[in-house]
């Protein structure tokens, strides 16, 4: 449970830093645009791309902030934003807990492709260009929930309830795994990030507890077969697979660059 607890500490701490004016000197703004220590700009690179497509112009500060975030996730920690930062993860994890506790079944109509999020990503970028507006930025449920929490707006509760219902009653983790274009964006840029999950086939007893708990099960396709690191950018680095592995066959590995 150590990674789950640590993730909750990080997520709640970030929300607190954004919410309280007394901590503005540490972090001020929101997930789209903020400043760290009142100096370092941080910008959502996906939002910046949408703005560029919509207006063909953006200020230098936003570009620098987007570059910093792009390098941090794309080069170092991969798609960790989805598990460690995004407030939607709190909702979808709770929905998954309720599904398991009460054994809710997926809707027979909810047969979705993991590639759907990439089609939505492409559509968002295309529509941003055609409509001359950053489409996902204007409609983002992530933004609604995050801003609602940190600014005390009530609208986020309704959006959170809709997400909870989708993930609880229709399909597990549908919001993040099938619909989210931001998650798709981070998956694309994260394929070669240094931080990876490494599997040791010699220790693996093929219990498959890791696959059962993983929110992106397809990334663990090597389990029980060969010793290698997760190569897919779709891994959110949540660490749940490591927590349930009683064989010590899975672990985080930084700078594991050789492909086996």
Q: Which two tokens stand for residue 174?
A: 């549908």
Give me the residue label for tokens 């993860």. Answer: 89
What is the span of the domain harbouring residue 87?
A: 2-188
Do residues 233 and 186 make contact, with C-beta atoms less than 8 angstroms apart? yes
DSSP helix/strand/coil, 84: helix
Q: Mean pLDDT check: name the lowest of 17-21, 105-109, 197-201, 235-239.
A: 105-109
Global confidence as pTM: 0.92
Helix (H, G, I), strand (E, B) or coil at 35: strand
Evaluate whether residue 259 is within a structural domain: no
**Domain shared by 115 and 224, yes or no:** no
Q: Token digits for 152?
A: 């005390």
In a domain, 260, yes or no: no
pLDDT digit string, tens, across residues 9-42: 999 999 999 999 999 999 999 999 999 999 999 9
For residue 157, give every residue at least 6 positions away whose Cβ sits within 8 Å of its Cβ, in sequence order, or none: 148
Q: What pLDDT is recorded for position 260?
A: 41
DSSP state of 106: P
**Count of C-beta atoms within a 10 Å radius of residue 17:** 17
243 in the same domain as 134: no
* DSSP annotation string for 102-157: HTPPPPTT----TTHHHHHHHHHHHHHHHHTS-HHHHH-HHHHHHHHHHHT-THHH
Residues 183 and 209 in one domain: no
Question: 40 - beta bridge partners?
Answer: 36
My answer on whether 227 and 161 are in the same domain is: no
């Amino acid at each position: 449970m150590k990674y789950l607890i640590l993730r909750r500490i990080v997520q709640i701490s970030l929300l607190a830093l954004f919410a309280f004016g007394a901590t503005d000197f540490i972090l001020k703004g929101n997930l789209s645009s903020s400043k760290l220590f009142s100096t370092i700009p941080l910008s959502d690179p996906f939002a910046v791309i949408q703005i560029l497509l919509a207006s063909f112009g953006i200020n230098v500060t936003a570009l620098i902030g987007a570059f910093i975030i792009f390098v941090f996730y794309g080069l170092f920690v991969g798609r960790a934003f989805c598990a460690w930062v995004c407030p939607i993860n709190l909702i979808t994890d709770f929905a998954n807990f309720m599904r398991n506790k009460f054994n809710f079944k997926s809707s027979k109509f909810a047969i979705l492709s993991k590639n759907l999020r990439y089609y939505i990503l492409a559509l968002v970028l295309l529509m941003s260009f055609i409509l001359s507006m950053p489409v996902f930025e204007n409609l983002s449920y992530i933004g609604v929930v995050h801003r609602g929490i940190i600014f005390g707006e009530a609208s986020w509760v309704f959006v959170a309830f809709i997400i909870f219902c989708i993930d609880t009653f229709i399909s597990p983790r549908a919001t993040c795994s099938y619909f989210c274009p931001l998650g798709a964006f981070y998956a694309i840029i994260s394929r070669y990030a240094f931080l990876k999950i490494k599997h040791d086939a010699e220790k693996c007893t093929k219990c498959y507890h890791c696959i059962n708990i993983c929110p992106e099960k397809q990334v663990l396709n090597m389990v029980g077969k060969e010793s290698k690191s997760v190569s897919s950018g779709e891994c959110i680095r949540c660490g749940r697979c490591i927590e349930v592995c009683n064989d010590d066959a899975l672990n985080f590995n930084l700078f594991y660059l050789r492909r086996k």
